[in-house]
Amino acid sequence: MSDRESPPVPDEPTRPSESRPACPVCGGRLIEIRAKFHCEQCHRICETCCEGGRG
C-alpha cells in the first residue's frame, strides 16, 4: 500500500456532455439570432451541419 494522498474532489461534478458551441474560426462563443449561430467576437455566421456548413 502507498501513502499517497488522493486528489481533491471538486464541489460540483463537471458534465462532459454539457458543452457550449464555439466559432470554428476564432473560438468565440456562439449566440443564436433568427435560427442562425453568430459569433460574439468575429460576428461570423456559422452554419450547422444540416445547412451544409462545417458546424
Q: Report pLDDT digits (tens) over 6-43.
A: 666 666 555 555 567 789 889 999 999 988 899 999 99
pLDDT at site 29: 92
pLDDT at site 50: 67
Q: Domain segments of the chain: what residues? A: 24-55
Q: How far apart are the first and last CA of the chain?
A: 49
Report the SS3 class of residue 49: helix
Q: DSSP readout, 14-45? A: --TT----B-TTT-PBEEEETTEEEETTT--E
pLDDT at site 42: 95
Listed as own residue / partner, the contacts of 1-4 with beta carbons closer than 8 Å and 24 or more positions apart are: none
